[in-house]
Amino acid sequence: MSKAKFITFEGVDGAGKSTHLEWFSNTLRQHGIDILVTREPGGTPLGEQLREILLNHPMHPETEALLMFAARREHVEQVIRPALQRGTWVISDRFTDASMAYQGGGRGVSLSKLEQLEHWVHPDLQPDLTLLFDIPIEIARQRLDNNISLDRFEKEQGTFFEKVRQAYLARSQKTPARFAVIHAEKTRDEVQANLQRIVLSLI
Ligand code: TYD
């Protein structure tokens, strides 16, 4: 049996990541692969409580970063590692790249501090593959405008998201072999055709 894979989905809010994640995981399941879909912040009972706080309560940017990594520590321990060890693939809606992009790029928390947290929380675990849904910020914002209940991050200005986008791209350039950058402004069918190729390369 080939090794279970850890795959993460990333991108600015409004890139369409969640819709594509559902399609992608269903497609892998149709190929007989055992998959666990999870998300961050969240994925464990404590993580979901931290998510509620993170998405709704204002706080210092470093507190935000620490809570993201606290939730992640539980997630890695209780969900991600056990699944991979029993041969189940894990698809996570966001992981540490989101902290680099949102807390680092968006909020301005120092990347070296975030890298220390990354090293602390998961020194020997990285996604096998990260799908980065990249999209011009004006288009992502238009998509979010149709959404009536925006969380604390989604209510941020375009300039914040521009910094998040650039930080994601910079992170993808540091370890390009781990990333597939998806042009998420294309039609759903075009994006799915791209994802289909990725599925075929994985199975
Ligand atoms: P998101 O996947 O957008 O949830 P939903 O689709 O339900 O709105 O994630 C929630 C927010 O959390 C998102 O705006 C990005 C933010 N976030 C961070 O700022 N840092 C992190 O490390 C993670 C995992 C998420």
The answer to whether residue 1 sits within a structural domain is: no
Mutate to test the pocket of ligand 1, among 132, 151, 160, 171 (most ligand atoms within 8 A of CB): 151
- C-alpha 17/C-alpha 7 separation (Å) is 13
- C-alpha 199/C-alpha 194 separation (Å) is 9
What is the signed CA dihedral for 161, 55, 9, 123, rounded to 10 degrees? 100
DSSP calls for 133-178: EE--HHHHHHHHHT-SS--TTTTS-HHHHHHHHHHHHHHHHHSGGG
Kindly report the CATH number assigned to the domain that includes residue 93. Answer: 3.40.50.300
Q: What is the residue whose two structure tokens read 């390009």?
A: 176
Residues of the chain by 3-state class (helix, strand, coil), percent to 5: 60, 15, 30
The one-digit pLDDT tens for each residue of the chain (203 residues) are 579 999 999 999 999 999 999 999 999 999 999 999 999 999 999 999 999 999 999 999 999 999 999 999 999 999 999 999 999 999 999 999 999 999 999 999 999 999 999 999 999 999 999 999 999 999 999 988 878 889 999 999 999 999 999 999 999 999 999 999 999 999 999 999 999 999 999 99
* Contact indicator for 13, 20 with CB cutoff of 8 Å: no
The answer to whether residue 54 sits within a structural domain is: yes
Quick check: CB of 16 below 6 Å from ligand 1?
A: no
- C-alpha 84/C-alpha 23 separation (Å) is 21
How far is ligand 1, taken at its centre, from the CA of residue 154, in Å?
A: 9
> Which pTM was predicted?
0.97
The answer to whether residue 78 sits within a structural domain is: yes
How many domains would you assign to the chain? 1
Ligand 1, residue 102: give the atom nearest the CA.
19
The domain containing residue 19 runs over which residues?
6-202
Quick check: CB of 40 below 6 Å from ligand 1?
A: yes
How far is ligand 1, taken at its centre, from the CA of residue 151, in Å?
A: 9
Quick check: CB of 98 below 6 Å from ligand 1?
A: yes
